[in-house]
Structure 1
């Protein structure tokens, strides 16, 4: 803000003079990038917090379980996709603008997998190679490879169907929900009374445990004193 005001003052004094806002624009971009990074990190932290939900816990565990298979699939798909990108650039690069470069060819094939392509332009370029290239790409990449990925996901979900989240996750989730309800004033009176009663019972039991511990310590001290007394005077124990 101070940097912006320092540029704005000369502009107000000499309105006809050109003032460069390159530095101010640069710091504005830095601010936008910083905010975007912080928002991204907060979203990741929120997703990590969702692991206490039973459904999300099963989903995240399934993702970790199928990670090796998905990584191998990604490598195979990348090489296959790049081969079609190179083929499209070599065949149609001189006649179709969308395949003139490697990057443009990859973009066109990606849009083609989404159903956005100009079949008439490809057909006019080559009546034999064009349709064969398009059909081969759609059948191999869009149908077969996609079904393989779906099969990997289904297999992971079947394996993790009997997964049971740790019990402490349920306890933490209940505690978070209780605190949120208390903060928003949504907790009912009966629930609050039950919590107070449980807290009183817990305090009573802790007090009894403390008294019992003290009594045991006092008894242990008395026994130690009597043992020392008998040992000092060598008296027979009763």
Structure 2
């Protein structure tokens, strides 16, 4: 990176701390005021900084517009997919990615198990919202009032004896999920299928998606699947770091 570009970009985090005058910018960059002024003028022309009436500079509206546009155009599935594939290659079990949209939790990606016994889940298909681990993760992150409103409107089919029976039980489980940062479905939808999941978070720390690993108990026991939880959480954290713009740790997607 050229020295000029490097210096110009160094101004942005400085102004993110609050308005600064020409002297402060020059001092922070270690350059003459004329150089700092030239850099500020260039950034101002592009709307990245704004000169106030008191002659101090602050971040410009264009910068915020660009940031918002970038966030809106992020594709969590595209970012997550290589991590899901890597996890699947390591453990062999089915890996899902899901989001919450219009009152439903939908699978948006799936990497199939290497084992002969396969799950019937499909991309684009709603999940069993009262029992699925990914659904618990996504609903647990909703604001309290919205979370309660959603829980009150849901039906609670008893798929198995381990299914969530009512709104009170569901809210109690969501509170636990919110506190611990992970979720399970141990035979709640199908007696023979177990699942562990972890959240994918955006730049503001809110949950934007949830990923999970599922397996039939003829392949792996519930206890053995729970033993994979640290790896699942590291993978979700790696996706979160990449989605939010931070450099992911290499071990997170291994």
> TM-score interval w.r.t. the shorter chain?
under 0.3
**Greater percentage in strand:** 2
TM-score after normalising by structure 1: 0.28
TM-score after normalising by structure 2: 0.27
**Greater percentage in helix:** 1
Instruction: Give the number of the structure whose alpha-carbon radius of gyration is greater.
Output: 1
Q: Which has the higher contact order (CA 8 A, sep 6+)?
A: 1
